Homo-oligomer: A and B are copies of this chain.
Amino acid sequence: MKIALAQMNSLLGDSSFNTEKMIEFITKAHEQSSKLVVFPELNLFGYSPVDLLERTHIISDQHRCINKVLAHIPGSMTVAFGALTKNTNTNGKRFFNTFILAQKNKILAKSHKILLPSYDVFDETRHFESGVSPRIISLGEKNILLTICEDIWAFDNNYYAQNPLLNLKKPVDLILNLSASPFTLNKLDRRKDLFKKVCRGVGAPMVYVNTVGAHDEIIFDGNSVFLNSDGEILDQASGFQEDLLCLEVNDSLTEVIKSTSVLFSDKKKKASAESPEEKLFESLSLGIKDYFLKLGFEKAHLGLSGGVDSALVYALSAQALGYKNVQPLYLPSPFSSDLSHDLAQEMSEFYKAELIEFQISSLFSELNKNWKNAFNSEAQSLTQENFQARLRGLLLMGYANENSSLLMNTSNKSELAVGYSTLYGDQCGALAPIGDLLKHQVYDLCRWINKSKKGFIPEAILTRAPTAELKENQTDQDSLPEYDLLDASVYKIVDQRQAAESETDKWVLNRLYKSEFKRWQSPPILKISDHSFGRGRRFPIVHRLKL
């Protein structure tokens, strides 16, 4: 049996583009004599549509595209793909998230997603109606179970009263799963465990095709797999890039005879990332790259402070967008040190960039003078710190205006958690690539980049004491617990959602609640943890919870 795993990167909402790409993948798979081509979840429309689906009239465009795909399927081929379909009942949500199994100009079967996730970043109960029961379709001599993403996850989580894949009515020879499973650092391991439970639970091998690409905060890593009935991986597609993996499998589906990654005849196929840092590097690079590419922007810029956060964002952006497309700006205030300048300069030279230097001292002093005139007193120390951060924000946004360039935000998760940032100051930006990284992950990733020669962060940036340089001799630890303690408490309170126990825990919890108003206005944060700040975490500003 010849099966192709068509791990495509869809453009959300552009079904015409996605249709053309599907046809291209189908054609290439046909050249490899594939008989069954499997695409990811909702690949025709893109995932996740969220409230794009309030534009209910889009359904006719979706129908047109489905028909176009059907017309382009070669006579000998069966294609499994994902599309929006309309719920034609008077009651219930308007759409189904549908698995379509098709041959030339003919739909063999439609099966609607049964388990609709409504947690974290998932909002599928808003617009989708649930399918009722799983479908098993005979294709040739095989009984094929049609499933979509979450349908298999009741083997892992306990969010659902029922696991729809237990006690199936027929024996199954092959499971197909169309997925859009967001990347998180531990997701690849969780999937491996899941695969074992699913394949053993159903008693069948599985073709699992996961989407790849990013939009807004969510990164999809691909890493599609073919598994035997023990849930062992027999072959795997690329991580973090498109792939069309054409497999020749023996009749009993226990063995891969031949494997061809069609898109990579000349290029290197990316193996699945191994270390946490490599995973971070690959995922964040993809997150940045797709944000720009899909929005139609090429150029980025950032305030390079000589500190570790902006250094990492620079290295990641240079990797994702090409170093020529990333402009560093150094915006010193009277409290900036020579060391900061030299480190920003050193890093820019590595990336062959001309560091733009813009002194904010004269603006800062003009501002203080005007303030004193208006109010007959000097602004307080904290206000003056915020002045500096906000002047930088203003200048960096001015640079965005002038150059059609997007400002990279440089906040990390540890400081976002406790509100150690200035709203409309260093919280400005179009995208926060490291907003889900704890401070120690920032350091670890910098060191990995240096070691792997994937970029360059001056060593002194990694060894100096972190400082915002907003007043004399300031260090972050004047206002914050030691970063290792802070990171541990943030992880415990935010990621693990546990009760606060230690003094640091309680301090973090209090600051977490009090700084919600800042995070409400954050730029999109690339998600790499199980519990990121951003759209997947819906905390009120106004509440009185203390626990």
Contact = CB atoms under 8 A, between A and B. Distances in A.
User: For the complex, would chain A's binding face be called helix, strand, loop or mixed by DSSP majority?
Assistant: loop
A424 B428 CA distance: 8
Contact of A402 (B11, B383, B542, B543): B383
Contacts of A339: none
Contacts of A371: 395, 398
A35 interface: no
A462 interface: no
B386 A401 contact: yes
A139 interface: no
Interface in A122-146: 123, 125-126, 129
Contacts of A126: 118-119, 538
A75 interface: no
Given A380-B401, A390-B394, A294 B12 contact: no
Contacts of A402: 375, 379-380, 383
B540 A215 contact: yes
Interface string A346-373: 0000000000111100110011001100
Interface string A471-509: 000000000000000000000000001110000000000
Interface stretch (A312-320, A412-420, A441-449, A516-524): A516-524
Nearest to A87: B161
A94 to B, nearest CB: 9
**Chain A, interface residues (CB within 8 Å), range:** 35 or more
A430 interface: yes
Nearest to A406: B517
Interface stretch (A45-53, A197-205, A254-262): A45-53
Contact of A383 (B50, B398, B538): B398
Interface of A: 11-14, 17, 46, 48, 50-52, 54-58, 61, 89-93, 118-119, 123, 125-126, 129, 158-162, 215-216, 290-291, 294-295, 356-359, 362-363, 366-367, 370-371, 374-375, 379-380, 382-383, 386-387, 390-391, 393-395, 397-398, 401-402, 423-424, 428, 430, 497-499, 517, 520-524, 535, 537-547
11 contacts: A12-B543, A50-B538, A57-B499, A57-B547, A119-B126, A125-B125, A295-B542, A358-B370, A386-B401, A387-B394, A394-B394
Given A126-B538, A383-B402, A424-B424, 6 more contacts: A50-B538, A91-B160, A290-B542, A362-B366, A363-B367, A394-B424
